[in-house]
Amino acid sequence: MTTLAIDIGGTKLAAALIDKNLRISQRRELPTPRAKRRMRYVKH
């Protein structure tokens, strides 16, 4: 079985395919897209 691992961070997005022997078979990284507007805190 192959597992997809995803890391969504503040500066980059990373993804990897991990095989049954826990080896990374493929890996990709992209910069996190910048928002056009800054997010504001939501009042509850």
Edge-to-edge order in the sheet of strand 24-31:
3-8, 12-18, 24-31
| Sign of the CA dihedral running 20, 26, 31, 32 | negative
Q: Is 1 a domain residue?
A: yes
| CB within 8 Å of 31: residues ≥ 6 apart | 11, 12, 13
**What's the mean pLDDT in 12-20?**
97
14 within some domain: yes
Is 17 domain-assigned? Answer: yes
Structure tokens at 35: 């928002």
Total of domains in the chain: 1
Q: What is the mean pLDDT of residues 16-24?
A: 97
- Look-up: residue for tokens 């597992």? 3
Using alpha carbons only, give the angle 6, 30, 42 rounded to the nearest 5 degrees. Answer: 70
Task: Give the mean pLDDT of 10-35.
Answer: 93
Structural domain span for residue 29: 1-33
Classify residue 27: in a domain, yes or no: yes
- 43, part of any domain: no
| This model's pTM is above 0.75 | no
In a domain, 40, yes or no: no
Q: How much is the average pLDDT of 13-35?
A: 93
Question: What pLDDT, on a 0 to 100 scale, did the predictor assign at position 10?
Answer: 87
Q: Please check whether residue 38 lies inside any domain of the structure.
A: no
What's the confidence (pLDDT) of residue 7? 96
Decide if 44 is inside a domain: no
Of the two residues 3 and 32, the one the predictor is more confident about is 3
